[in-house]
Amino acid sequence: MKKNIEINYNKYPLPDRKRHHTNPSFYIPMKELKFAPAGYPQVIKAINWAEYFINQNPPTRLDIGCGRGLFLLSVAENYKDSNILGIEVRQWCCQWLRHYIVNERVENCGILHYCVANRLDFINTESIKEVFYLFPDPWTKVKHRKRRAFNLDFLVDIYRILEKGGKLYLATDIYEIHTYHLAILKTINQFLVKEVNDSDEWTLPPTNKELFCIKENIKYYRIIAKKRID
């Protein structure tokens, strides 16, 4: 497992009043809303990557639901030869990360305030090496399941943007979500799916949530889904 970077939170303090959750409507596609609430992420169809990356290059890795960005920034540090884009619906996370990225000159890291339920049309086909979807909000109640970003449309998008042999990484501490991920992957049947139990197979730096699970001895589940090349 790769190590995380050290973030100086005295230099870059997190907001005093930060909410873990945000407006539930932010997880719903725009087309399904009668009106967009204030602060709803803009729907994007095309993008100029020079506006998001200091080095002006497009991303080859995506961190969907990047949160406070410890994992995002650590991947950027570990893979300086390629760009990683963090996508997050919580605006305060994006603002804090953008401030950090610009001031620390993290040239290969970008942040986008966006709801992936509105699809990933702005990402070129077969341009992404790896997608990370780690410890998402579970939305366990039946009436809330429509807010889950991980669905068939999402997976079709991921399949399109991944290069041949590209990988989708999934992690959750909720067993029901783990089995849900497996079921959706089985439905599309375009990935070679491996449940990961050996940490040696999972070389990524830990997320904030993973560190919490390790500290509290909470079981969590990991999947690597590789895009078929046949």
Q: Tell which residue, 87, 72, 90, 66, has the closest CA to residue 7.
A: 72
DSSP states of 155-183: HHHHHHHEEEEEEEEEEES-HHHHHHHHH
Q: Tell which residue, 134, 1, 168, 161, has the closest CA to residue 66.
A: 134
Active site amino acids: 137
> With 0-12 CB in 10 A as exposed, 13-18 as middle and 19+ as buried, what is 192?
middle
For residues 159 and 185, the answer to whether their CB atoms sit within 8 Å is no
- DSSP element (H, E) containing 152: helix 152-161
CB count within 10 Å of CB 206 equals: 20
Identify the residue whose tokens are 């050290």: 6
Buried b (16+ CB within 10 A) or exposed e, 57-91: ebbbbbbbbbbbbbbbbbbbbebeeebbbbbbbbe
Give the N- to C-terminal CA distance of the chain in Å, as an integer: 30
What is the SS3 assignment for 27?
A: helix
